[in-house]
Structure 1
Amino acid sequence: MKHLDLDIYKAYSGEEAMEWLRRTKIDIVITDIRMPKMDGIQLLNAIYKNWPQCKVIVLSDCDQFEYIYNTVQYNCTRYILKSEDPDRVIKAVEDAVNEIQKTNEIKGLIHQAKEQINMAKFLFQKDYLVQLLHGDSTLKINKYHFEQLKIPLNPEIPVILVMGNISNIPKNLTYWDKMEYLCSIKLIIEQKMGIYMSNVVVMDENYRFFIFVQPEELLTNISSHKAQDIYYEKTISFLKEIFKMIQTACKEFNHASVHFILTGVPCRWEEVFREYDYFNQLINYRAGTDLEMLMIDNHILYNKTEKMTEDDIYLDGLSQNKSLDWIKAYFRSGQKETFFELLDQFLNPIKKVRSKNNGLAIELYFKVALSLLSYINERNLTNQLASKIDSSKLMRIDLHDSWEEAVEYLKLLCCAIFDLQSEEKIDRTNKIIQLVQRFIVEHINEDLSLVKLAERVYLNPSYLSRLYKQVTGENLSDFIDQERIKRAKELMQTRNIKINEIGKLVGYENAASFTRFFRKMTSYSPQEYYDLLLDQDRH
């Protein structure tokens, strides 16, 4: 008998049992149907009201249907007659324990799964915000995505952006030690920031910390613009003091010198990448010192923009977009329509520029051009493009009479690349079909199952079936049948091969199966068709 390690409580009445149930959680209850003051049915009702997962074993010397019916209404209840073998009760307890253990294991797996999902969401959250810093224009910024990624901020109101840079990361650290060092600093920042305001801290690929901050008052209340300005000013003033505390803590615990750069005013989420670029410029202002510094970027930020026209400011924003990976991504996936929508967003503003010497227009043009050149070289498309467009003009702005002409050239080049992709796709598809057909013809006497054919061209069987139908307009099985009957007729023309041998040579080991197949395809049996050929020869 299996040994069970259980805590046992004994009660002499239903009321006493209820007292135990009120004082502690009970996993298994063994009870009689009839007890003083409270019978077993009443006890069951009370148990499942408070502890619905509790397992109950009901004992009785009564086999009346009413009692059995009333107890089995509960999923976790077993009904045992007192007259039955005592081992039956022990077995019921063992089963109940096993069920509890299994339930606990499932709960543990669910908890583990939830933890992994939360960890994954944290990684996705970091990737999302870092891509936002890089200006990925394909990202959607809305409440739904923020909620899904558990970003505790509001995408509809401006955000204060802060950069923290460590100037003295120890050299010769292993990767793991470096991550531990950086994570400890990130933890200090999160702990200090979390006490006072809503924020998210992420680390970019250059091991710099970026903190997204919003006043808590604006996350729960709708306020006027004037009130919002007051809250943001108060938050920025407060941040200055918090960063001094963080710098002191990092110095004491990690000997780390952390420099912070803080935007003097909040920015819209769509313009975060511009702030990121300004931070990259401002970080050089601390050269030559390892003292902790807090820098506010208002002066440099607005001196720069005040000297620019409205169109230049827009071009500047586009040119700061470091991530043009979508160009390759959409080429690879063949999403032509979406690709050109994004390309227009980048290139159409250049058309308004009159001067060919506009530095921002030149920078933006070459960002796109270099991404295209990279993809062309990656796919080795230079020679193929030569028959469609002069690709030598890609890196020669001087060969275009205007920015409008230059933009149209880039679009034509992109069209040519998509056309090549389409042609290559058709060519690859035709080669697959030809390879399958050739294999069938050359191995007509072998197993020609869809699985085997799919293995020959490294495709999923169902996909191969759909692809063949889409390209040829007929089922793959029909082609196999046509080739088999064609080969069978050719063999019959020789007159010196037996019919059962012909069946084997076209893939039918069983003569009856070959006969059914032949009649289905020709309306004749093999022998009738053979006799028909002989009759034609006589005449």
Structure 2
Amino acid sequence: MYRLLIVDDEPAIVDGLVQQFQELPELELDVCKAYSAHEALAIVKATKIDLVVSDIRMPGKSGLQLADDISFYWPACRIVLLSGYSEFEYVYSAIQKNVDHYILKTEGTEAIVAAVRSSAAKLTEEQRRQAVLERAEQQITAAEPLLKKQFFEAILLGEHASDIRRSGTFADLPLRLDDSRPLLLVVGKADLDGRGESYTEKLKLFYSVQEVFERHLPSMFTAEHVVHDHSLLVWFIQPACDKGEKFTGADGEMNWRDVTTYLKGVLEPVQNECSSTLGTAISFALDRGEIEWNELGAHFEQLKFSLKQHAAFGQPMAVIDLGMQDGLWKADAARPAQATGTFNQKLGLLTKKLESGAEADAAMLTEELLAGIRSDLAANYLLGMERYYTLLLAFIGQMEDLHTASLPVIELPVEWHTAQQKFSGLAETICREKKARIEKGEHLLVERIHQYIDEHLGGDLSLARIAEAVYFNPSYLSRFYKQLTGRNISEAINTAKSAAAQTMLGDTSLKVNEIALKLGFESPSYFTAFFRKMTGSTPQEFRENLFR
């Protein structure tokens, strides 16, 4: 949707053009009007304007001067100038100011509408080109570190690297790693218990640990790193193709177990420096060997869980190797649990369904999550417990300010079938209350719009002003109102003005031109044309019929 401003010191011309463009819904225009250049400038200073149709000769400030002001505030605005004179000086000045069209008023409204259509098409094309340029710039600007973080975070949450790469955002993201070769995964956790660092202090510490790690990592390795969930440091590591011969077996294949063993030796000085220089104990977990990119999420979950198990024993500066045959952490950490990423994805989807009031979907997702948690408890008890209470927290978060019953089950269920029924019922109850609240809010919004229109029938009823009054985005408000009511806001305004006019016409003390002014019509002739269109009779005919 574009916002069109019509400016002329002749009210009949302004009102006529406003009506003309409001009757062209396919253009999707929010039409504003001004009866002087100074009134137009006040609108321009407060509201984004996309298109302007302006008279060139006006008292106080000409259309050419106004074009300069508009270009200052909204450089992308397209301008159409109207004139009753085909003077070369005006035409030349308009061209110099990059005005789209210079139209004689004698050419009629069809020429003006065609000019606005042309300017709107230019705006659309400019926006398309700008979007292409912005996408190109995004790939070569400082956004690259953030994109890398998002890319690796998505992988750790269980999404396949190949699927992420196919998306437009990450398709051309440059990485130091070769995503056609396997890699190693190292996860680190700093012991921050009792230290009370702020978020900024933690970030500074994590960056310092990363710097220490990269300084000790031999040049034969290439690495990318990310801080996950504000608590874990994760490194993705590959031996360089031309420097990995020391780890190559007689068969010419890379011995990834030897690479992992060597990396464990590298981690020792990293831990020592972090302890002595940063005053922080760091524990690391490594996987058993090479990992394919699409399997990184599953292996990360195992490493993360092994660090959690280790933390329960309180041993500082551990190096957990899941590849050791007799390793303390291997057996539990390697047992299968619910697919990595599936739990988080389903939990996020459940939250959205609860918010939107989708009862059936929310109940189904709740049952699937509980079934997965039951399997997790059998594989990794601590992981299953963590996920169960995470699900509880998700429900608690949705129950705030709702008149729902308390949680059906707090402790781990014994009768899982009964628990699933109770949780599914709670999900449906939350959805019903959320949906009712959404519908109530929608009705209140429509009432507030109608109230504002009724209270400002003679004032500014542009979409931008109404949206400002109800705290909405103007473009979205137009679509949202039509979705709720089945009609445009302009139709609601016209209906309200017509109803008010009919009421006022019953008061014989008011003249027709006075009624026109009260309803925002500067031109009595335009008011008469409007009233005839809405009721089928002129104001005077309507009044005569009332008292006949």
For the superposition of Structure 1 and Structure 2, which TM-score range results when normalised by the shorter chain? 0.5 to 0.7
Give 1 or 2: higher helix fraction: 1
- TM superposition shift of 1:393: 1.6
Alignment match, 1:479: 492
Distance 1:273 1:129, change over 3 A: farther
Percentage of matched positions with identical amino acids: 23
| SS at 1:300 equivalent | coil
The match for 2:457 among 436, 444, 451 is 444
The answer on 1:347 being equivalent to 2:370 is yes
Distance 1:178 1:532, change over 3 A: closer
Alignment match, 2:149: 126
The answer on 1:296 being equivalent to 2:321 is yes
The match for 1:427 among 428, 431, 440 is 440
Alignment match, 1:240: 264
Partner Cα separation in structure 2 for residue 143 and residue 217 of structure 1: 25
Alignment match, 1:142: 162
The answer on 1:186 being equivalent to 2:210 is yes
Partner Cα separation in structure 2 for residue 115 and residue 472 of structure 1: 40
**What residue identity is the alignment partner of 1:198?**
T
Any conservation in 1 of the 2:260–2:288 contact (CA below 8 Å)? yes
Any conservation in 2 of the 1:158–1:269 contact (CA below 8 Å)? no
Distance 1:410 1:150, change over 3 A: farther
Q: String of CA shifts for 1:317-347, please: whole Å, max 9, x gaps.
A: 7899799566545644778898778656533
- TM superposition shift of 1:425: 2.0
Any conservation in 1 of the 2:189–2:307 contact (CA below 8 Å)? no
1:62-101 aligned at under 5 Å gives the runs none
Aligned residue pairs total 398
**What residue identity is the alignment partner of 1:395?**
I
Alignment match, 2:48: none
1:101-500 aligned at under 5 Å gives the runs 119-129=142-152, 133=156, 136=157, 139-142=159-162, 144-145=164-165, 149-153=173-177, 159-165=183-189, 182-193=206-217, 195-204=219-228, 209-216=233-240, 230-244=254-268, 246-247=270-271, 259-266=283-290, 268-271=295-298, 272-283=300-311, 287=315, 294-297=319-322, 298=324, 299-304=327-332, 313-314=336-337, 327-328=350-351, 331-332=354-355, 343=366, 345-349=368-372, 364-377=387-400, 380-381=401-402, 383=403, 385=404, 390-395=405-410, 402-500=415-513
Any conservation in 1 of the 2:184–2:238 contact (CA below 8 Å)? yes
Alignment match, 1:515: 528
| SS at 2:161 equivalent | coil
| SS at 1:458 equivalent | coil
- TM superposition shift of 1:114: 6.2
| SS at 1:423 equivalent | helix
The TM-score, its normalising length taken from structure 2, stands at: 0.58
**Structure 2 unmatched runs, 5+:** 1-132, 245-249
- TM superposition shift of 1:218: 12
Partner Cα separation in structure 1 for residue 534 and residue 346 of structure 2: 60
Q: CA RMSD in A?
A: 4.7
**What residue identity is the alignment partner of 2:161?**
I
- TM superposition shift of 1:456: 1.8
Query: Is 429-438 or 484-493 further displaced after alignment?
Result: 484-493
Distance 1:447 1:296, change over 3 A: closer
Q: String of CA shifts for 1:383-424, please: whole Å, max 9, x gaps.
A: 1x3xxxx544243666xx831332243233223323333322
Distance 1:376 1:445, change over 3 A: same
- TM superposition shift of 1:505: 3.0
- TM superposition shift of 1:368: 1.2
- TM superposition shift of 1:457: 1.1
Distance 1:526 1:169, change over 3 A: closer
Any conservation in 2 of the 1:162–1:211 contact (CA below 8 Å)? yes
Partner Cα separation in structure 1 for residue 164 and residue 242 of structure 2: 18
Any conservation in 1 of the 2:355–2:398 contact (CA below 8 Å)? no
Partner Cα separation in structure 2 for residue 375 and residue 321 of structure 1: 17
Partner Cα separation in structure 2 for residue 185 and residue 252 of structure 1: 12
Any conservation in 1 of the 2:529–2:538 contact (CA below 8 Å)? yes
Partner Cα separation in structure 2 for residue 190 and residue 413 of structure 1: 49
| SS at 2:510 equivalent | coil
**What residue identity is the alignment partner of 2:465?**
K
Partner Cα separation in structure 2 for residue 350 and residue 421 of structure 1: 26
Alignment match, 2:34: none
Any conservation in 1 of the 2:363–2:428 contact (CA below 8 Å)? no
| SS at 1:509 equivalent | coil
- TM superposition shift of 1:128: 4.9
**What residue identity is the alignment partner of 1:402?**
E
Distance 1:250 1:428, change over 3 A: closer
Partner Cα separation in structure 1 for residue 357 and residue 151 of structure 2: 23
| SS at 2:185 equivalent | strand
Partner Cα separation in structure 2 for residue 140 and residue 244 of structure 1: 32
Alignment match, 1:12: none
Q: String of CA shifts for 1:497-529, please: whole Å, max 9, x gaps.
A: 322222223332332222222222233322333
| SS at 2:458 equivalent | coil
Any conservation in 2 of the 1:161–1:262 contact (CA below 8 Å)? yes
| SS at 1:236 equivalent | helix
Partner Cα separation in structure 1 for residue 356 and residue 465 of structure 2: 28
Partner Cα separation in structure 2 for residue 376 and residue 228 of structure 1: 60
Partner Cα separation in structure 2 for residue 170 and residue 470 of structure 1: 53
Distance 1:341 1:442, change over 3 A: same
Larger Rg computed on CA atoms = 1
The TM-score, its normalising length taken from structure 1, stands at: 0.59
Partner Cα separation in structure 1 for residue 369 and residue 398 of structure 2: 18
